[in-house]
Amino acid sequence: MNSGQIKQIEAQIPALRRYARALTGQPDRADDLVQDCLERAVARFGRFRPGTNLRAWLFTILHNVHCDHRRRAGRRAIEVPIEDWDQELRCPPLQARTLEAHDLLRALAKLPEKHRQVLLLAGLHGLSCEETSALLDVAAGTVKSRLFRARENLREVQTSMERVAPRYAA
């Protein structure tokens, strides 16, 4: 095979890639298909008849390689890339989140009832100050004031709990 023939084959690679992508629908598989096609074409270039259509010959090889791959795939088990299922096997460790939730519940339990109510209604359940004030039968300004003091109080309780017994490193 001379350099002129190699250049003729190289000129057909973009068209082969487009056809391979149309056949496979996946860029990675298409590139593999083109590579297999080119390997077969170079190995069997002695069978190519000069004067005939090189592009048609390469497309025929590509099509036949694709058919061979599909036939082989039909006889084998389904291939699933490791990246596709590996993520499903992993789950992030939940211990730290569980400990944080337990610490938060303990800290909430140490708050006065009126602060705990406001924090749970406004913070956890997402009620507005007006909705919370209607539910607790207090003024909206009182709810805002209690919410501010409850958050401050909660921070202080959590800080004191961390100083006493740190359970884990963040």
User: pLDDT tens, 71-116?
Assistant: 887 776 676 677 766 666 677 778 888 888 888 889 888 999 899 8
Phi and psi at residue 10, in whole multiples of 5°?
Answer: -60, -35
21 vs 4: CA distance, rounded Å: 27
131 vs 149: CA distance, rounded Å: 19
Domains of the chain (ranges; CATH) run 3-86 (1.10.1740.10), 95-164 (1.10.10.10)
Does position 170 have pLDDT exceeding 70, yes or no?
no
Provide CB contacts within 8 A for 9, sequence distance 6+: 38, 41, 42, 54, 58
Average pLDDT of the residues of the chain: 86
- Of 45, 38, 40, 44, nearest to 12 by C-alpha is 38
Phi and psi at residue 138, in whole multiples of 5°?
Answer: -135, 165
